[in-house]
Chains A and B, each alone.
Chain A
Amino acid sequence: MKSCVRDWKNIKNYLVEFQTVVKKTIFNRRTWIEISIIICLSIFLGIVTNLGLIKRYLAGEFKSAFISQESFPGLVFISLPEAEELWSNRQAIFIDSRSASEYSRGHIPGAISIPLEEVQRGNEEILKILEPPEALVIYCEAGDCQTSLNLAKILYQRGYKNLKIYSGGWAEWIASGNPVEK
């Protein structure tokens, strides 16, 4: 019984001590002023060191993705009409960057399945069917999916320079009543 009371007193003392330390650190006006100084300084440095990028952003350069044209020249984003034209005139090979199961549920007719996850896992075999000079149109599920962009970056670094990303993706393709293949 006595040891129980002693333990309880110890816990109580620790809690009081902890409460004091928390009060001195987190609920301390000076700490928050110091944090504000660090954040303001960071914002200032972030603006000063990235003035060029900010200007480019305001000019509308990174509306679709954060890709620098200097690093990936020739990599372009295309809209639905452009994708439809390339598809109907057979001017490009369409690549589905979604998973194999999503591809099997439905895809743009003639599209080749190259799931990004497979490439990232190191499966290079699936890239061998592509010829570098061919124009490639890469798409994924919908507008905010990033697999087409990431696959495009990988393909670009492997020498495929004629790349287009259809940012509307599969969702836009079927919503506009275009043909599908299963």
Chain B
Amino acid sequence: MKKLIGNKYFLLLLRLIIGGIFIWAAVTKIADPLSFAQDVRNYRLTGQLVSFLTALFLPWIELLGGLFLIIGIFPRASALLLSGLLTFFIMLVAITIIRGINVECGCFGTISRRTDFWLILEDAVWLVMSLILLFSPGNDFCLFKCGPRS
């Protein structure tokens, strides 16, 4: 197991999967920000302004995080950022299920699915992959020369 999570090809595969998912999710949201803003509003946790601001900025954070993870700009920071987002999404879906609200997750724009237990499981799988990238010493590929870690 230790060998596998230190394997550069395995880590590259994980980066392509996680980065690709976030890029895809971001592009669908950037294409239709109003629809995503309504999806955020449907969770009934935020008002109009916060939902609007989330729809403007969150997709770009996802896009840059995913893109940077794949091409090797700030790979660890990107992995930490995406892990944080996934943890937040898992908590959000869990709270929504507990509150008994049946909404579309808004994860992939218009092709989103309902918030359910399987969505939590799916996000948990992405989170594990993202955490491997975050903590693996082998995830050192940088497009530019990485500085020494203190």
The stretch of A46-54, A122-130, A163-171 that contacts the partner chain? A46-54
Asked, given contacts A28-B150, A30-B150, whether A62 binds B61 with beta carbons under 8 Å apart, the answer is no
Residue-wise interface mask of A (115-154) relative to B, using a CB-CB cutoff of 8 A (1 in contact, 0 not): 0010000000000000000000000000010100110000
Instruction: Report the minimal beta-carbon distance from A175 to chain B, rounded to whole angstroms.
Output: 20
The stretch of B9-17, B33-41, B91-99, B120-128 that contacts the partner chain? B33-41
Instruction: Report the minimal beta-carbon distance from A144 to chain B, rounded to whole angstroms.
Output: 6
Is B112 an interface position by the 8 A CB rule? Answer: no
Number of B interface residues at 8 Å Cβ cutoff, please give it. 36
What residues of B have a CB within 8 angstroms of the CB of A21 in the complex? Answer: 135, 137
Instruction: Report the minimal beta-carbon distance from A83 to chain B, rounded to whole angstroms.
Output: 21
Name B136's closest neighbour in chain A (CB-CB): A21
Inter-chain CA distance A69–B103, complex, in Å, is 23
Partner of A62, one of B34, B77, B80: B34
Instruction: Report the minimal beta-carbon distance from A116 to chain B, rounded to whole angstroms.
Output: 9
Tier of interface size on chain A: 35 or more
Asked, given contacts A42-B60, A46-B57, A62-B52, whether A31 binds B33 with beta carbons under 8 Å apart, the answer is no
What residues of B have a CB within 8 angstroms of the CB of A37 in the complex? Answer: 74
Whether B147 lies near A30 (C-beta < 8 A) is: yes
Inter-chain CA distance A68–B38, complex, in Å, is 11
Residue-wise interface mask of A (1-29) relative to B, using a CB-CB cutoff of 8 A (1 in contact, 0 not): 00000000000000000100110111011
Asked, given contacts A38-B68, A62-B48, A144-B44, whether A53 binds B33 with beta carbons under 8 Å apart, the answer is yes
Name A116's closest neighbour in chain B (CB-CB): B102
List residues 64-90 of chain A with CB under 8 A from any CB of chain B: 65-68, 71
Residues of B at under 8 Å CB distance from A?
30, 33-35, 37-38, 41-42, 44, 48, 51-52, 55-57, 59-61, 63-65, 68, 74, 76-78, 80-81, 102-103, 134-135, 137, 147, 149-150
